[in-house]
Amino acid sequence: MPELPEVQILVNQLAPRLERARIRAVESRDPKIKLDRHLVGRRIRRVRRQGKNIVVDLSGGLHLLVHLRMTGWIEFDRLKRYRAAIHTTRGTAYFEDARRLGVMQVVTPEQLDRALKKLGPDPLLDGCGLSELQATSRPIKVALLDQRLVAGVGNIYASESLWRARINPRRRSDSLQSGELRALGRAIVASLRRAIAYGPRIFEAQQFAVYGRKGRPCRRCGTMIRRLVQSQRSTYFCPRCQR
């Protein structure tokens, strides 16, 4: 599933291609996606990100809200299979999504505000204060996946950030001290920024510290990385660095 870094990289690609363009036509090949014909003629003012959401601000006070979910992505080259397409004066954006779980919908400012208010702080936009984590007894790795607490962090970067902060993923969230939370906040920001720096090559070039490295040596101490399952998701950690 694309997490905050992958979504930000996609936004970085979309913005220069779509901003200031005018929508010429909209196309939906999936009944789950309903694109209002009134979008035609509107100008794309801005393409931005909030958490894992892509927000396209349009003239006339409407917005296009996109969530990629598990397999969604947006390409500029015509695809054989795609769920929807936005044809503009500066090219066409094709929304592909093999599992058809992604969301693309037209919303009013009020609807957008309600949707985004459900999210916790975005680590790169709002800072990474994690005080709300102390209000839950869930394991810290599980709590980090709750988008109401921290927006944009998913399974991969939760494991990576906990390794950076030397925090065991099984620790109760409410057991973390203020210093540990500050360290975790810094680790989250560092992990996300490092991933974004890969740019469009992220899927081929990215090297993880712990994620997907079960049985391989920790890059810090050499201890073999372990894997455990938390809330039906794989967690990777170093048993020595993250006691």
Residues in the chain: 243
Q: Which of 43, 214, 227, 233 is catalytic?
A: 233
4: which residues sit within 8 A by CB, 6+ positions away? 49, 51, 52, 122, 123, 124, 151, 152, 153, 154, 157, 192
Q: Which of 5, 6, 42, 52 is catalytic?
A: 52
The verdict on whether 3 is a catalytic residue reads yes
Q: CA–CA separation, 112 vs 36, rounded Å?
A: 16
Of 118, 128, 133, whose CA–CA distance to 175 is shortest? 133
**Amino acid occupying residue 220:** R
The verdict on whether 233 is a catalytic residue reads yes
Burial of 177 (0-12, 13-18, 19+ CB in 10 A): exposed
CA torsion angle 11 13 15 21 (round to 10): -130
- What strands lie across the sheet with 91-97, from one edge to the other? 23-28, 84-88, 91-97, 72-75
The verdict on whether 16 is a catalytic residue reads no
The verdict on whether 52 is a catalytic residue reads yes
> Vertex 36, ends 74 and 84: CA angle to 5°?
25
Which residues are designated catalytic?
Answer: 2-3, 52, 233
